[in-house]
Amino acid sequence: MITIHEALEIVRSHLPPRSVEEADLPRAAGRALAGDILAREPSPRFTNSAMDGFAVRWEDVKTVAASAPVQLKIVGESRAGAPFAGRLESGQAARISTGGMLCRGADTVIPLEETEVDGEALRVLKAERAGNHLRREGEEFKAGELLLRQGAVLNPPRLALLASQGTVKAPVYRRPGVAVIVTGTELVPYHAPAESWQIRDSNGVMLRSAIEKSGGEVTFNARVGDRLDETLEAVRRAADVADIILFSGGVSVGPHDLVKSAAQQGGFETLFWRVKQRPGKPLFFARRSDSLFFGLPGNPVSAYMCYLFYVQPVLAHLQGKPFGHESFEGEAAAPIFNSANRAQLYRVALEGRPGRPPLVYPLARQGSHMLTSLTAADGFIHLEENVRLESGTPVEVIPFT
């Protein structure tokens, strides 16, 4: 049996290549850029006013500071979206609003508060500097400048930046297509009546939401009984539409555990089966060209922990992010030990502390058939075999997100 480190290395060394698509901005939200973005246009696009006030010629008002107010004639208006059509001549001013295009002939804006208006007559009371209160074309960036780097995640402001450039589609990594197939003759849909010997399928909804949270897209969904023909049919159909195939259940050693055989008959090459870990020992991993196949154990806790530890990093990689786990340091609040001779993905609860690493509490309930061992947890730690961590020890926590 291989170790958890070896298993993760095998997954890492079989990562499929990323693929890129041009996505409409709303669909690109939250995704990583597959290429650098250069400015198509300068920003601001045109020189405009930063204030509500008057566009003037500095030559006309430069004496205001030293001596008396200056009188100008108001000859028009430049509003945001409706520029002044003419050209400002000496002795003239135009009303201008914030965002309004600077009129031809003008070079300075006087804020409304620094003027007095009487009909068409404008008295300029204060004039501080030539070119004041303008947002100049290209002052933020020029056409051709680097705006966003490859790998940048398109958060709302970055989407806004693309929109401001008139960019309709952005190059992003394609969302991985994932198939979810739950196996088990005992399973019924959670919304159907269940006989006393039956089990409601809870892994289906758990895995689906986990995949969507990881940025993947569920492209195939099925529930099959413990029969080779049904299982093989699901493998074939899933392989047509998914980059990653997730099976739940049917990977142990029992006579009704048929997922490995079905994968092999479907043309998948086994890369490993069984890992020295708890939970999730029977984990099965295979591939066929660029498609990866994970046979997750059926116990809900095992299925989820194997998903977080092995599958989520693959989905991150395919979306332009690093293959790995987001983690932070906490501090053991009580002794945490693993006397087993296999590693544990050990569920913990966290207690935040201002300015200090959070306290990490080991949860007493670690049974792989107990969903409450997940629902009570905030994350997990990777605990090596035969270790004991005293309270106060720093520990690396992988949070449930």
Residues of this chain that interact with Mg ion (CB under 5 A) are: 184, 249-250, 298
Q: Which is nearer to ligand AMP, 50 or 205 (CB)?
A: 205
The entry of ligand AMP, Mg ion, none near residue 297 (CB within 5 to 8 angstroms by kind) is ligand AMP
Q: Which is nearer to ligand AMP, 178 or 360 (CB)?
A: 178
Residue 276 beta carbon to ligand AMP: minimum distance, rounded to whole angstroms: 18
Q: Which helix (H) or strand (E) holds 4?
A: helix 4-12
The entry of ligand AMP, Mg ion, none near residue 202 (CB within 5 to 8 angstroms by kind) is ligand AMP
Q: Which is nearer to ligand AMP, 204 or 313 (CB)?
A: 204
Residue 319 beta carbon to Mg ion: minimum distance, rounded to whole angstroms: 31
Residue 263 beta carbon to ligand AMP: minimum distance, rounded to whole angstroms: 15
SS3 content of the chain, % helix, strand, coil (to 5): 20, 35, 45
3-state secondary structure of 155: coil
Q: Which is nearer to ligand AMP, 123 or 200 (CB)?
A: 200
CB 377 within 8 A of CB 398: no
Strands, E assignment, 85-213 = 92-96, 108-111, 115-118, 121-124, 134-135, 146-148, 169-173, 177-183, 187-188, 199-200
What's CA 84's distance to the chain center, in Å? 44
The entry of ligand AMP, Mg ion, none near residue 148 (CB within 5 to 8 angstroms by kind) is none
User: Which residue in the set 184, 279, 313, 358 belongs to the binding site for ligand AMP (CB under 6 A)?
Assistant: 184
The interface with ligand AMP within residues 267-326 (CB under 6 A) comprises 297-300
Residue type for 304, please? Y
Pairing between β-strand 177-183 and β-strand 217-224 as defined by DSSP bridges: parallel
The interface with ligand AMP within residues 192-231 (CB under 6 A) comprises 199, 201-204
Dihedral sign (CA 75, 80, 85, 89) = positive
The entry of ligand AMP, Mg ion, none near residue 279 (CB within 5 to 8 angstroms by kind) is none
The entry of ligand AMP, Mg ion, none near residue 358 (CB within 5 to 8 angstroms by kind) is none
Residue 214 beta carbon to ligand AMP: minimum distance, rounded to whole angstroms: 19
d(CA 371, CA 373): 5
User: Which residue in the set 52, 107, 186, 385 belongs to the binding site for ligand AMP (CB under 6 A)?
Assistant: 186
Q: Where are the alpha helices (DSSP H) in 149-275?
A: 156-164, 203-213, 228-241, 259-265
Residue 365 beta carbon to ligand AMP: minimum distance, rounded to whole angstroms: 17
What are the φ and ψ backbone dihedral angles of 115, each rounded to 5 degrees? -140, 165
The entry of ligand AMP, Mg ion, none near residue 330 (CB within 5 to 8 angstroms by kind) is none
Q: Which residues pair with 248 in a beta bridge?
A: 182, 296
Residue 188 beta carbon to ligand AMP: minimum distance, rounded to whole angstroms: 10
Q: Which is nearer to Mg ion, 302 or 319 (CB)?
A: 302
User: Which residue in the set 47, 165, 198, 252 belongs to the binding site for ligand AMP (CB under 6 A)?
Assistant: 252
d(CA 150, CA 180): 31
**What string marks each residue from 130 to 169 as x (binds ligand AMP by CB under 6 A) or -?**
----------------------------------------
For residue 79, the tally of other CB atoms under 10 A from its CB is: 14
CB-based contacts of 212, cutoff 8 Å, min separation 6: 218
Burial status of residue 113 (CB atoms within 10 A of its CB: 0-12, 13-18, 19 or more): exposed
Selected range binding ligand AMP among 31-39, 242-250, 267-275, 332-340, rule: CB under 6 A: 242-250
Q: Which is nearer to Mg ion, 118 or 195 (CB)?
A: 195
CB 32 within 8 A of CB 152: yes
Residue 205 beta carbon to Mg ion: minimum distance, rounded to whole angstroms: 17
The entry of ligand AMP, Mg ion, none near residue 266 (CB within 5 to 8 angstroms by kind) is none
Binding stretches for ligand AMP (CB under 6 A) = 182, 184, 186-187, 199, 201-204, 248-250, 252, 297-300
